[in-house]
Amino acid sequence: MQTRNLRKWLSGVVILLALIAVNAGIWQKEQVLKQGAVMILQLAPVDPRSLMQGDYMALNYAITRSLQEELYQQRQGCNSLPQTPCFPVSGKIIVAVNEHRQVTQARFDSGDPLKPDELRVNYHMNAGTLMVGTNAYFFQEGQGERFARARYGAFRVGDDGTALLTAMLDENGKMIQP
């Protein structure tokens, strides 16, 4: 009888801890959406649809292409030359933004202090592609033509470098409404 009560009690504690962890993650993301710095990334062309998963747009960003090439070349050298440092498959990049909050330059973080027009953003490699934020934007069925006009992704960036996609923008920087 005591074992059964102990199991119920432990199950309740585990469920409570899981709920606390999930809610803490949600709260952190809400804070980034409310208070994070705005960053706008130009999209790079990719396959816009997947019929297997419904309507979504696969995302890639123009600014990450040069970083991806640098990472690839650096990884080739780090395996052959002992004094060449290897960039990790995840880390931080520094992006410079203009007065319209559009990213104009990006480089790997070397630990230097940020300038007023710079943000520190997390990156990770996913299937050989350097990713900042998310690699897909889902929308309601039938909205594909509207979102095909997207040229920019608007993000909010937290102090920890987390980038959350908040909107898709057209060529004029106007938010595309679903």
Residue 48 per-residue DSSP state: -
Give pLDDT, residue 51.
39
Please enumerate in sequence order all residues whose Cβ is within 8 A of that of 25, keeping only pairs 6 or more positions apart, or say none. Answer: none
Which residue has 């999209």 as its token pair?
43
Helix (H/G/I), strand (E/B), else coil: 161:
coil
Give pLDDT, residue 79.
63
Per-residue pLDDT tens digits for 29-63: 888 778 888 999 998 866 655 534 557 788 889 98
Per-residue pLDDT averaged across 138-167, rounded? Answer: 89
Burial label, 130 (beta-carbon count in 10 A; 0-12, 13-18, 19+): buried
Per-residue pLDDT averaged across 13-22, rounded? Answer: 89
Give pLDDT, residue 40.
92
H-helix or E-strand spanning residue 170: none
Integer Cα distance of 162 and 27 in angstroms: 13
Integer Cα distance of 118 and 103 in angstroms: 9
Task: Give the tokens for residue 26.
Answer: 């949600």
Give pLDDT, residue 34.
85
Per-residue pLDDT averaged across 91-119, rounded? Answer: 94
More confident residue, 70 or 114: 114
> 128 near 65, Cβ under 8 Å?
no
H-helix or E-strand spanning residue 101: none
Integer Cα distance of 156 and 163 in angstroms: 6
Task: Give the tokens for residue 169.
Answer: 């923008």
Which residue has 């330059």 as its token pair?
105
Closest CA to 41 of 104, 107, 116: 104
What is the residue-averaged pLDDT of the chain? 84
Provide, rounded to the nearest whole percent, the portion of the chain with pLDDT above 90: 35
pTM reported for the whole predicted model:
0.78
